[in-house]
Amino acid sequence: MAATAPALLLSGRIAIVTGASRGIGRSIASHLASLGASLIIGYASSSAAADRLAAELNSSTSSSTNQKPRAVAVRVDVSDPDNVKSLFDAAESAFGGPAHILVACAGVLDDKYPTVSATAVEDWDATFAVNTRGAFLCCREAANRLARGGGGRIVCITSSTTASLRPGFGAYVASKAAVEAMVKVMAKELKGTAITANCVAPGPVATDMFFAGKSEELVRRIVEENPMGRLGETEDIAPVVGFLCTDAGQWVNGQVIRVNGGYI
């Protein structure tokens, strides 16, 4: 008997993923597409990488001139309200209806300061502009514009550092902890919409952002601290987000899911 193709659990649904041109966001976007979702690929500066991802996802669809695209790359500054609005406008324009899913993954990590007391105000503000203000603007737009009646999902990518509280990560931890608190409140405020709101909080993941500025010795120590004996991979994170976005995740709401191999 021939094997059947896996069910496309997100067929007919539209997802917006910020920070989707590389790293964890790229993996999430690809995974949601593999589940059948149409994608708005939000990116800040890596236009070539975003265009490549869109081309890869679109190449798997029919070549018919009447075929809608599977994925569209949209440049966005998530700290700007008009830019965030443009993501949702792009979804409606490209795919003919409101988005169902928001995954707010855009983020920055500035860990060059050893302590909060040494942190420059401008760098603190820059971290909050993307990680916290950006998540707020995306979530606010999603709360007002995601499709009602089932399948509405908000997932913010935060960090397990909000639990481990490592020295040197003061601005980053504070910016992500604020998002986790906001999302828990939003889950209650969205009562009656059938939209869930959750956070996925990865531990150390092998991405360019993680490796930047870290010595081999520091990376080795981080690996040794993990019970699984390795760094996370982006493919460890994407399926958890995918689960939350499918109907199977409809009873998970207002939660922070730490995906870190037991790191904390």
Beta bridge partners of 43: 75
Encode pLDDT of 195-232 as tens digits. Answer: 999 999 999 999 999 999 899 999 999 999 999 999 99
Interior angle at CA 209, CA 201 and CA 239, nearest 5: 40
- From residue 264, how far is each of 93, 140, 225, 257 by CA, in Å? 42, 30, 9, 12
172 is catalytic: yes
* pLDDT tens digit sequence for 36-47: 999 999 999 989
Q: Are 172 and 110 in contact (CB under 8 A)?
A: yes
Task: Tell me the pTM.
Answer: 0.94
Contact 20, 41 (CB under 8 A): yes
Q: What pLDDT does 7 receive?
A: 66
**14-204+233-258 maps to CATH 3.40.50.1110:** no
